[in-house]
């Protein structure tokens, strides 16, 4: 896990639920650092630097695409 790098930061524990499911489904190794601490005390998020999503450098492009898809969903009319 020392090779993993932070690719995104979230302020609240509820923000990572869907992302975790997608990463697990895709088989992408990941770590949400500070997740439990901030789930217990949400006001401590700023003090601890938020919940950091850490992934292996080989998976950065895949995870960035997943994050982009979640942030910019296609709208069907």
Distance CA 9, CA 34 (A): 10
This prediction's pTM:
0.85
Using alpha carbons, list the distances in angstroms from residue 66 to 7, 12, 53: 12, 19, 13
Question: What value does the mean pLDDT of the chain take?
Answer: 91
Give the confidence band of 44 by pLDDT, cuts at 50, 70, 90. Answer: confident
pLDDT at 77 over 90: no
Are 23 and 34 in contact by the 8 Å Cβ rule? The answer is: no
Give the confidence band of 42 by pLDDT, cuts at 50, 70, 90. Answer: confident
Rounded mean pLDDT of 28-42? 93
Rounded mean pLDDT of 12-27? 94
At residue 3, φ and ψ (nearest 5 deg) are -80, -15
Pairing assessment for the beta strands 5-10 and 51-55 based on DSSP bridges: antiparallel
């Amino acid at each position: 896990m020392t090779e993993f790098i932070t690719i995104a930061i979230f302020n609240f524990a509820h923000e990572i639920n869907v992302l975790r499911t997608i990463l697990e489904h895709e088989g992408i190794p990941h770590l949400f650092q500070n997740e439990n601490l901030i789930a217990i005390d949400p006001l401590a998020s700023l003090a601890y630097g938020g919940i950091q999503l850490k992934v292996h450098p080989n998976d950065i492009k895949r995870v960035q695409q997943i994050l982009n898809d979640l942030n910019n969903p296609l709208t069907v009319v």
